[in-house]
Amino acid sequence: MKAQIEQKLRAALAQLQAQGVLDASVAIVPTLSVTKDPSHGDFATNIALQIAKPMGVAPRVAAEHLLAALTDRRGIREIQIAGPGFLNFFVEPLAAFALIDDILAAGAAFGKSQVGAGKKVQVEFVSANPTGPLHVGHGRGAAYGAVVADLLAAVGFEVHREYYVNDAGRQMHILTTSIWLRYLEACGAVLTFPANGYKSEGYIFEIAQSLKAAQGDTLVVPIAAVFADLPADDPDGGDKDDYIDALIERAKSLLGATRYKTVFDAGLKAILADIKDDLHEFGVDYEFWYSEQSLEDRGLINRAIERLQAAGFVYEQNGALWFKSTEFGDDKDRVVRRDNGQSTYFASDIAYHMEKFERGFDRVIDIWGADHHGYVPRVKAALTALGFDAAKLDVSLVQFAILYRGGERVQMSTRSGSFVTLRELREEVGNEAARFFYVMRQAAQHLDFDLDLAKSQSNDNPLYYIQYAHARVCSVNRQLPLRGFSHDVARGRSAYARLTEPHEQALFKRLSQFSDTVHRAALSLEPHQLVHYLRDLAQEFHAYYNAHAFLLADDAPLRDARLNLIAATRQVLANGLGLLGMSAPEEM
RNA sequence: GCGCCCGUAGCUCAGAUGGAUAGAGUACAGCCCUCCGAAGGCUGGGGUCACUGGUUCGAAUCCAGUCGGGCGCACCA
C-alpha cells in the first residue's frame, strides 16, 4: 500500500513538472512516513514542503497543486492537507485489511523479503582469542552478530558467518607455556609460576590434567633445566614480558617442535571446543572457523605485504617494514613486519581482509568490541591500498555490557580469574533472556544488564511480556472448541469492514509495519529496532485483549474477523521472536 | 594532546531518510477480573532533548564550538 501511494506521488510530481508548475530540474524522491497520530491518517508526506520553495509558492499552495495532480486514488479514502503543508492519506480500510490474509497465507515466511537476493554478505563476530572461555562481553557480540546475520538472511542475503581464530599470536604461546608448567606440577614438579602466565585460571589446570592423562610423563623435563638462566620475573625486579618470552623459548627448545606442538594443540583444541560448545548452546553457529595460522601456512601474509609493496605503500625503517596507512587517513604508519622478521598481528589482519574481499562478498561486516575502534582506519586503509572498495566493509562496534545484580554492579576482571563467563550468565538467566537483553539496546550503547530482571518471570521482563502476548492468542484458540466454536477464516474475511475499533486499527497498522521493520533492522544492523517493534505490537495486542472479547457468542462473522486479526498478530509475534532466536511459547 | 563513541523524564532507554503536541518501560498515585490467562489493561503527574551559536519554512536529529562521561592512541594480540 505504501509503495503504491509513493508511486502515485511520483506520477503526480511528474505531472506537475510536465505542466511546468514545478521546474523539471527539481529531483525529489517522494517518501511516505507512517503517521503516529491516527488523526493524521495512515500515511503522510512532506513533499509539498520541499517543493514549495522551487515553485515559489507557500507550502500549502504547493500542497493544493500536488493534491490536484493526484488523480489516481484507488485504495485511498481521503487525502487531507494539514499543518504547514503535509498531505495525509487515509487508506480504504478494505484494501488495507487484505494484509491480514497475506500474513496468514505467508505464515512463517511473512516479513522476509528478497532485497538482498543474489548478494553475499559475510558477518564475522566474536573472534575471541582461544585462550580461555568466553566472558559476558563476548556474549553481547555473539548475540548481536547472530541476530544481525539472521536478519540479513531474512531479507534475502546469502550470509556467511565466520569466527576468526587467533591461534597464531603470542598469547597462544603464553597459554601453551602456562599449560605445560601446570602439567609439570601435576607430574610432581615444584615451581614458581610466571607473573604474566595464566596463573589462576582453573581451566589451565584441567587441560594440564587431561594432557597428563593422554601423554603420561613424556612431556616432562628436569625442572632445573626449565628455569636455569632466565631473566628475573616481575616480582624479582625484572620485566614480566621478558621473563615469559624467555620461558616460552625455553619450553620450545626443551620440548622440541613436535612435543611443544602437542601441548599447544591440546590447549587450542580444548579451549576452542569449549567456545564452540558454549556458542552452540547459545544458539550461535558459524559457517566457518577461520584460522589465523592458516594465513601464514598458505603464504597469504607474505602475499598481502608483497601486494602492498608492489602498490608502493610499504617502506623500510629501523629494520622493520611499514605500511603507509597515513596515505589513507590513518593517524600514523603501521608496522607489518618487525625487525626480527616476524609479521605483526596487523599484517595477519590485512591478509585476512584481503582474502575476505577476494572471496567476493558484496558486503563484509566485522563486529568488534568497542575498544578496538582505533583499529578501523588502518584496516580500511589497507583495503583501499590493496585496491578494494573499503566502503564494502562495515565495522560494527559493540559496547561493553555492565552486569547488575541486586542493584549492585557486578565486578568483572579477566586477569583476576574471577570473571563472569558467558556460560555462567546463560545458566543464571537462561539462553533466551540473555540473548534478548543483549540485543535490546543499540550495539553502540553501553548496556546495563540487569540479571534480576532478565531472570524474573514477571511483567517487568519485556521478553515475557512479548511471549505472553503470543501465548494469549494460543490460549484463545484453545478456548474456541471448548465453547463450541470453530474458526471460519473466509467468514472472517467477509467481515473485515467491521474491524473499526481504534484498538483494531492500531493493531492492524502495527502489523503492516512488520516487513519494513525487519528490512530496516537488517540493513542498518540494528536488531533492537525489531525488539522495540515486538514490544509495541505486544502492547497493542494486550490492550485490545482487555478492551474487547473475541469469542463473541452471537456474532460469528465479527468473531471470525477478530480471530483472523489475532491469528495474524500471533504469526507476526512468532516470526519476530524467531528472527531474534527466541521461542514463541503456546503456554507459559 | 589527538582520534572515535555517547549525553533525551528520578532510573533504563526508543526516537529511519531533518517534520505536526518528543515517546515507551520502570518508579510513584489511583482504578479495572461473575468475562477468551491480571505474567494483563486504563488514568495521572513527571522534560531547558548537556550548553552556546549556526544552517532553514521547520532541528533531539545536520554543522561548529564548549562542558561532562566512556574508549583508543605498540616493532602486543
**pLDDT tens digits along A546-586:** 999 999 988 999 999 999 999 999 999 999 999 999 999 99
Give the separation between CA A162 and CA A290, rounded to whole angstroms: 7
Asked whether residue A9's C-beta has any atom of DNA/RNA strand B within 7 A, the reply is: no
pLDDT digits (tens, 9 = 90+) for A18-36: 887 777 776 677 778 888 7
pLDDT digits (tens, 9 = 90+) for A302-353: 999 999 999 999 999 989 999 999 888 888 899 999 998 889 999 999 999 9
- Which residue type, as a one-letter code, is found at position A21? V
User: Residue with CA nearest B24 C1'?
Assistant: A536
CB A582 within 8 A of CB A436: yes
Kindly write down the DSSP assignment for every residue of A171-206, as one continuous string.
HHHHHHHHHHHHHHHHTT---PPPTTS--S-HHHHH
**From residues 368-397 of A, which are strand B contacts by CB within 7 A?**
370-375, 397
- How is the beta sheet containing A447-450 ordered, strand by strand? A408-409, A401-405, A447-450
Asked whether residue A451's C-beta has any atom of DNA/RNA strand B within 7 A, the reply is: no
- Which residue type, as a one-letter code, is found at position A453? L
Asked whether residue A550's C-beta has any atom of DNA/RNA strand B within 7 A, the reply is: yes
Give the separation between CA A27 and CA A25, rounded to whole angstroms: 6
Asked whether residue A342's C-beta has any atom of DNA/RNA strand B within 7 A, the reply is: yes
Give the separation between CA A389 and CA A380, rounded to whole angstroms: 9
H helix intervals, A45-197: 47-55, 59-69, 93-106, 136-154, 170-186
Size of chain A in residues: 588
- Section A149-178 average pLDDT: 94
Question: A138 CA to B25 C1', in Å?
Answer: 26
The confidence score (pLDDT) of residue A418 equals 47
Going by pLDDT thresholds of 50, 70 and 90, the confidence category of residue A419 is low
Strands A76-82 and A86-91: antiparallel
Helix axes A422-429, A240-281, angle to 10 degrees: 30
Question: A489 CA to B73 C1', in Å?
Answer: 64
pLDDT at A412 over 70: no
Q: Of A197, A195, A199, nearest to A236 (Cα)?
A: A195
The confidence score (pLDDT) of residue A417 equals 43
Give the separation between CA A134 and CA A297, rounded to whole angstroms: 27
First to last CA, chain A: 36
User: Residue with CA nearest B73 C1'?
Assistant: A374
Instruction: State ipTM.
Output: 0.93
Strands A363-369 and A120-124: parallel
pLDDT digits (tens, 9 = 90+) for A521-548: 999 999 999 999 999 999 999 999 999 9
Q: Of A227, A229, A209, nearest to A219 (Cα)?
A: A209
**From residues 17-76 of A, which are strand B contacts by CB within 7 A?**
31, 33-37, 39-40, 44, 46, 49-50, 53, 59
Asked whether residue A409's C-beta has any atom of DNA/RNA strand B within 7 A, the reply is: no
Q: Of A469, A320, A325, nearest to A385 (Cα)?
A: A325
Question: A201 CA to B77 C1', in Å?
Answer: 19
Residue A448 neighbours by CB distance under 10 Å: 13
- Section A281-299 average pLDDT: 95
Task: Give the H or E element holding residue A308.
Answer: helix A300-310
Give the separation between CA A61 and CA A72, rounded to whole angstroms: 20
pLDDT digits (tens, 9 = 90+) for A186-236: 999 999 999 889 887 889 999 999 999 999 999 999 999 999 989 989 888
User: Residue with CA nearest B42 C1'?
Assistant: A543
pLDDT digits (tens, 9 = 90+) for A255-274: 999 999 999 999 999 999 99
Question: A324 CA to B45 C1', in Å?
Answer: 61
Segment among A285-294, A295-304, A439-448 with least mean pLDDT = A439-448
Asked whether residue A559's C-beta has any atom of DNA/RNA strand B within 7 A, the reply is: no
Integer angstrom CA distances of residue A555 from A162, A475, A491, A544, A551: 55, 20, 11, 18, 9
- Section A484-501 average pLDDT: 92
> Structure pTM?
0.92
Residue with cell 594440564: A208
Closest nt by CA–C1' to A346 = B77
Give the separation between CA A232 and CA A225, rounded to whole angstroms: 16
CB A48 within 8 A of CB A86: yes
**From residues 465-524 of A, which are strand B contacts by CB within 7 A?**
465, 468, 471-472, 475-476, 478-479, 520, 524
